[in-house]
Amino acid sequence: LHDKMSAGLTFDETSVKVKVGGADVAEDNYTLKKSGTESSDPCTFEIKFKDSYIAGLKTGTQIEVTYSATLNKSAVIGTTGNKNDTWLKYGNSGSVTSETTTYSYSFDLVKTDSDGTLLAGAKFKLYADQDCTNEIKLVADGTNGYRVATTGEKEVQYIETNATSALTIRGLKGTTTYYLKEIEAPKGYNELENAFAFTIAD
C-alpha cells in the first residue's frame, strides 16, 4: 500500500493503524516504510504486508488502514486543493488507485471608516465558537497576513489591521462558521459590540 502526499500535507507517522475485523494487526505482519526508505515507487510512506500473513487470511477479508496528515504552511489555498494519492499493488501486476483532495481556505480583513478609508490599529481575534472561548491560534506569515498556527509555533496575540491593504488569514476549513471579535478599536472609534460570524463555503 503506497501513499504520496503533496507538499502541503505533513504525514503523522504515529497515526498509522492497521485493523482486521476491528482488531489491530500485529506489527510483525507488515513493515511501515517512510519517505526515503520505500522500496519502489517514490511515496510518502508504504506498508508492505508479509506474504505469509496475507496467505493466511480468508478470501474476502477486509484490511483497514487509517492514518492522518495535517495541512502545513505550504498548503495550497482554494479550489486546487492538496492531493493525496494512494495505490495498492498486489500479485504480479494488480493495482488499485485512489485520490483525495484536502482543501484550505482564506479570507481578507479590513476595517474602514464610513467613507471606506482603511483604518489601522483595529485588533481582532478569531474563534471557532459563538461564545469566543475557543480561540484559533495564528502566526504572521510574512505576506501581510496570518495563517493557522501548527504545533510548536509561536502565535501572535491578535490580528491588527493597517491603513494600506487588506490582511489575509489562511489555513481555514470549508463549510465552517468562524467568529471574528474586535478586542481593540482604532483610536477615536468604538469596538464592535458583538463578534462577527461568517461561514466559509465548500
Q: How far is CA 103 from the centre of its chain?
A: 8
In 3D space, the residue among 64, 75, 66, 65 whose CA is nearest the CA of residue 10 turns out to be 75
Residue 52 φ then ψ, to 5°:
-65, -35
Distance in Å from the first CA to the final CA of the chain: 30
In 3D space, the residue among 179, 167, 181, 173 whose CA is nearest the CA of residue 201 turns out to be 173
Are 111 and 118 in contact, with CB atoms under 8 Å apart? yes
**What is the pLDDT, as a whole number, of residue 40?**
52
**What is the pLDDT, as a whole number, of residue 143?**
74
**What is the pLDDT, as a whole number, of residue 41?**
61
Q: Grid coordinates in use for 174?
A: 470549508
- pLDDT by 10s per residue, the chain, length 202: 999 999 999 999 899 999 999 999 999 999 999 876 555 567 899 999 999 999 999 999 999 999 999 888 889 998 889 999 999 998 888 899 999 999 999 999 999 999 999 999 999 999 999 999 999 999 998 778 999 988 788 999 999 999 999 999 999 998 999 999 999 999 999 999 999 999 988 7
**What is the pLDDT, as a whole number, of residue 92?**
83
Are 171 and 147 in contact, with CB atoms under 8 Å apart? yes
d(CA 180, CA 123): 10
**What is the pLDDT, as a whole number, of residue 150?**
82
Residue pointed to by grid coordinates 483604518:
119
**What is the pLDDT, as a whole number, of residue 39?**
54
d(CA 176, CA 194): 19
pTM of the model: 0.75
